[in-house]
Structure 1
């Protein structure tokens, strides 16, 4: 696991998102680091699977992020789309919080039970 610092915990308030670009084995990866309504941190691909636009520019509500272009909503825990028009999930990356830093591993994805 190659965790790297994406931001600090102070960079995001509840229901806020931030675009960060991290370097992984396959190159630069755009990641939306999101703090949900409960204060938990999540990291998902910043690219909407439907419209190829930035998810970090969308609205965060609870544990969902909504794509600003067409309104698709994605579960921050699973990456699954919960609102059309998106039908493909987006990758979700492992997150750890240590000493006020939000760490993300873009070389791994979170396995989600079906």
Structure 2
């Protein structure tokens, strides 16, 4: 593990916005939910499609391909056709940057 990875300046990720970044070879979608940052793997567990371009509804992202829903804080599935959670990543703000760490293998 390489530690924390800068993904966006805080000023470039205002509330309601999202970005996708490479974190140790994994596409990670980072969301600003009213000043609270959440990060999930940008891959739907139903069919492998990306999630970040889906509709944001409160604390959920709706997969743009088949409508599966995932909670952005926990990664839990909230509506099928997906049945497996997406990976979540720790997020912090440091020095004006939003940073993400891949600790799935710790």
Verify same fold: TM over 0.5.
yes
RMSD: 1.6
Distance (whole Å) between structure 2 residues aligned to residue 92 and residue 54 of structure 1 = 15
CA distance in 2, matches of 1:96, 1:57: 22
**d(CA) in 1 for partners of 2:104 and 2:4?**
10
Q: Tell me by how many angstroms 1:61 deviates.
A: 2.0
> Which residues of structure 1 form unaligned runs of 5+?
110-114
Unaligned runs of 5+ in 2: none
**Deviation of residue 46 (structure 1)?**
0.4
TM-score, with structure 2 as normaliser? 0.89
Name 1:33's counterpart in structure 2. 30
Which runs of structure 1 show a deviation greater than 3 angstroms over 4 or more consecutive aligned residues?
none
Indicate yes or no: 2:96 matched with 1:104: no
CA–CA distance in structure 2, aligned partners of residues 34 and 99 of structure 1: 18
Aligned to 2:47: 51
Is residue 60 from structure 1 mapped to residue 61 from structure 2 by the alignment?
no
CA distance in 1, matches of 2:11, 2:45: 29
1:13-63 superposed Cα distances (whole Å, 9 cap, x missing partner) = 32222111122xxxx111001112x22111100001112111111111221
Aligned residues: 104
